Amino acid sequence: MISGDKIVLRALESVDIDLMYQWENDQNIWPVSGTLVPFHVILWSSL
C-alpha cells in the first residue's frame, strides 16, 4: 500500500473486478487509460 496526503493506493483485489471492468470498457475514458480494445470479464477474474 502506498499512502500520501490525498490518495491511498493498494493492490487490486477480487472485489475490484466489476468496477475495473466498467472503467476499462468505458470508451469515453480510453484516451486517459490507454485502452485500445474492450476487456473481457474473464481477464479480470484471474486476480
pLDDT digits (tens, 9 = 90+) for 8-44: 999 988 888 888 888 888 999 889 888 888 877 666 5
Residue 17: inside a domain: yes
Residue 24: inside a domain: yes
Q: How far apart are CA 34 and CA 18, in angstroms?
A: 19
pLDDT at 47: 56
Q: What angle do CA 6, 12, 16 make, to 5 degrees?
A: 95
Kindly state the DSSP code that residue 7 receives in the 8-state scheme. Answer: -
Domain tally, the chain: 1
Residue 27: inside a domain: yes
pLDDT at 34: 86
Residue 37: inside a domain: yes
pLDDT at 7: 92
Kindly state the DSSP code that residue 27 receives in the 8-state scheme. Answer: G
CA 39, chain centre distance (Å): 10
Domain span holding position 39: 12-44
pLDDT at 33: 82
State whether the Cα torsion 26-30-31-33 is positive or negative: positive
- pLDDT-based confidence at 45, cuts 50/70/90? low
